[in-house]
Structure 1
Amino acid sequence: MKNILILLGVVLGIAVFATSCGDAKPKSTETKKENETIMDNRNVKEVYFAGGCFWGTEHFFQQIRGVVGTEVGYANGNKENPTYEEVVSHTTGFAETVKVKYDPEQVDLKLLIDLYFKTIDPTSLNKQGNDRGDQYRTGIYSTDKATEAIIKEEVQKLSKNYDKPVLVETIPLKNFYKAEDYHQDYLDKNPGGYCHIEPGLFEMARKANPLPTKKENKEMKYQKKDKAVLKKELSDEQYRVTQENGTERAFQNEYWDETREGIYVDITTGEPLFISTDKFESGCGWPSFSKPITKQLIDEKLDRSHGMTRVEVRSKTGDAHLGHVFNDGPADKGGLRYCINSASLKFVPKADMQKEGYGEYISLLDKK
């Protein structure tokens, strides 16, 4: 179908029109510049989607917040620099494919895969919409092992929703060649041009990844890190304590005798855990607190290691080992003693709390 329309457009010198793609609006120059800035400053990743005619697939992904760049082209064929005419001849093995660059801090790859499935019939072989041919096969192609693993896992999950076998390729990218310029941003340049994707899906894509609320932004600020990352960021002692349930030496740690005003945060995530007004001298040789800032920030688990029965304290977001809680604390402060390893904490003095992003907690220091 698309091939016939292109031929007519060339012969007659007119724009190609067929099924409407809805109220498609070209991206402004400002938006594209903003995306380019994001790509310069963030850890942008890429993944390749083949979903039938690449005009509609590209336009669909352009609507999703967090997608910072797209390019249409030909993937996984058997020659160099193919032309469109060679691809549609069914002799080169290429699939019409969209290179999608995305910011993983704004959009999850799993969401992109889920949305992609809504634009295709994953059980159809070499056919999407009115288009026929092996260049219209479906596939998600990766350039690294981590992305490939996520793709395979997600496609396997989504496959359970279909009675027929899912035919979406989940293989590494062998090659990719940019398509001719007139194919790039085709539906931006030709609103109402041919598209195999139902128009309402573009609106769905625009709404699929909304900006987080203020509350969600606050929750997303602190993220658990991979152990490989922590191994590089933490000292040997901090890693041993937080990731291997270690215990530092009493009276030989950084904060056991710290008396300044300030806040104590999770060394692995930066999330606030304790404040100085709840710290007291217990004589045990480790920082002791009567309570955390809120119980929602910690997990308490039964610990029977080393022949003892204790209650372990872990940070909820970072899942870092902090220490233990005992019931021998000051009665006038609730009777609990949160005995915490200094190595699991970072202390931020009151004078630095504002500039380090903890200004909203300063008022807690005035509550005696």
Structure 2
Amino acid sequence: MISWVLLLGVILSACSPVPIEAEEAQTKPIPARTDHSQRTIYLAAGCFWGVEAYYQLIPGILQVESGYANGDTEDTTYRQIGKTGHAEVVKIDYDSNTIHLAEILDRFYLIVDPLALNRQGNDVGTQYRSGIYYVTDEAKEIIDQSMDLFHERLGQTSYIEVEKLENYIPAEDYHQDYLANNPGAYCHVDLNQSKHILYPGIEKPSQADLKATLDSITYDVTQNAGTEIAHSSELNTQEGRGIYVDVITGQPLFSSRDKYDAGCGWPSFTKPITTDVIQYLEDRSHGMNRTEVQTWESGNHLGHVFNDGPRSEGGLRYCINGVSLRFISEEEMTQQGLQALLPYLMDE
């Protein structure tokens, strides 16, 4: 049963203007951030050609490099890794202001065969084992919780090894950007998985059902791009740990980790919980050029994103109408079957 947030009144504001006509709306890319917070993780999922190409398609990934890791020697080559014990890995530099490590891991689970020992796709050997190799204790904590939850969903323990990074060597130049330079070459990874919605919500009800179910302000905001009164939502001052979901479909949208007090009167966040939940639309109402944010899956209006957020967190402010959201506490997440999102509450 969805619990609705009751709010009164509609105003025009910097957070949510009058909706533009549908034919004027144009989708936009994720807004550029003023500052990046670079982190690095190393992943092994078989032949690195496909894994490299896959992660290059994910928003927030700054650079991907093919290489060898966690072998017995400080040097190796492609011809020697079968003897030196290294795994084929990709080194992933990512912006934690855009994407959380938990999402990188969730997308890793989509392309790896967790029950294959020393094999992925057509490739067999210890160099093709699956693994996650970390460099910080904070990353290790996220990985451990993520893997525990993954094994819970899997119903058994996988062959994915988790180890601290050792003896990393970049692969030879001809392995870098291999699929880009050799279209049609062998790839065991389904690159279309990069578009997979990690945590979808329920199917959006019809407009008739929404009108019959939602209160007037929630309907006006989510379906007509209306605006709630500033400081009217209890979620504006919500401080507990948990996630914020689409009030209509229940799709997870934001994490309490990324919420902050912007002083604007609406719930504000520095980024969405995952990179696949928001679509960005040009909004030229009131003679201005702004960026509206809607749920990617159902097209429900949320608010707008501005470039006046905390610089240390990337400089963006997602200014969201509280009636568009429902808060689920950390304790309630497991009860509602959303425990897979618990790693997204952790600091990196």
Say which structure is richer in helix. 1
Q: Give the TM-score normalised by structure 1.
A: 0.47
- Higher CA-based Rg: 1
Which of the pair has the greater relative contact order for Cα pairs under 8 Å at 6+ separation? 2
Q: TM-score, normalised by structure 2?
A: 0.49
